[in-house]
Amino acid sequence: MTAHSQTPQFFLTSPSVCPYLPGQFERKVFTHLVGLRAPELLDLLTQGGFRRSQNIAYRPACERCRACVSVRILVNEFEPTRSMRRTLAANRDLIGRMAPATASSEQYALFRRYLDARHKTGGMSEMSVLDYSMMVEDSQVDTRLIQYRRRGPDSSFTPHSDGELTAVALTDVMGDGLSMVYSFYAPEQEQRSLGSYMILDHVERARAMGLPYLYLGYWVEGSRKMDYKIRFQPQEHLRPKGWERFEALEEK
């Protein structure tokens, strides 16, 4: 698709083993996000259940399964639960800075530690430093990188006073919300619940930016690794008739 194309072209992948549900196979429909209309197209496709990976927008197109459900948090109505407030308190020594998406060797070292501890056999396990740089920087939409470090004594004045890199989030800024593309963190600091903390931080960032939604990607019913997404209430799920409110019983 060129910068002057009016209609994007969509393609369908061949079946492959599903990474979430045993015994299932997945297919995806995808298109390219390039040219001047890429940000506008990303907004429209994300509202329609697509996700971004570099300059590709994709969504599941499985023949016999509809388990993948797009999820977005209603930012203006969200209130953290007791356990979420404990997570925020446990990470009050962290400071996150949002900047243009630029890769670094320090990020890649943390990324490798995270993959080796959490996703050693996953599809990303063989990513090189070049692959990582492309994941971060190969974007024609408004993509930011938020780096979380332990707060230094002069953090408000001197960025270099901050401590070791603890977590990273790759995030798209869209017309109606933030979309968390990928995040990773120091696996040895499990007590911090850094994955949940970054979602909570993104909710506040979206609220401060006047954006009504935080897009979390797909929730897969029956996949334990995706259960955490349901905790952030209230939220909407994309169903055949459109976005519908979803609320589960949760602690207050």
**Which string of DSSP letters, residue by residue, matches 168-182?**
EEEEEE-SSEEEEEE
169 within 8 A of 145, measured Cβ to Cβ: yes
Q: Report pLDDT for 1.
A: 41
The 10s digit of each residue's pLDDT in 111-126 is: 999 999 987 666 687 8
For residue 68, pLDDT over 90 is answered with yes
Q: Report pLDDT for 19.
A: 85
Q: Report pLDDT for 64.
A: 86
The structural architecture, per CATH, of the domain 72-246 is 3-Layer(aba) Sandwich (3.40)
CB burial string 220-246: b at 16+ within 10 A, e below: beebeebeebbbbbebbebeeeebeeb
Q: Report pLDDT for 222.
A: 79
Tell me the domain boundaries of the chain. Answer: 11-66, 72-246
Give the H/E segment covering residue 207. Answer: helix 194-208
- Model confidence band, residue 226 (pLDDT cutoffs 50, 70, 90): confident
Interior angle at CA 144, CA 73 and CA 243, nearest 5:
25
Spacing of C-alpha 241 from chain mean position: 24
Indicate the length of the chain as a whole number.
Answer: 252
DSSP state of 157: T
Burial class (CB in 10 A: 0-12, 13-18, 19+), 60: buried
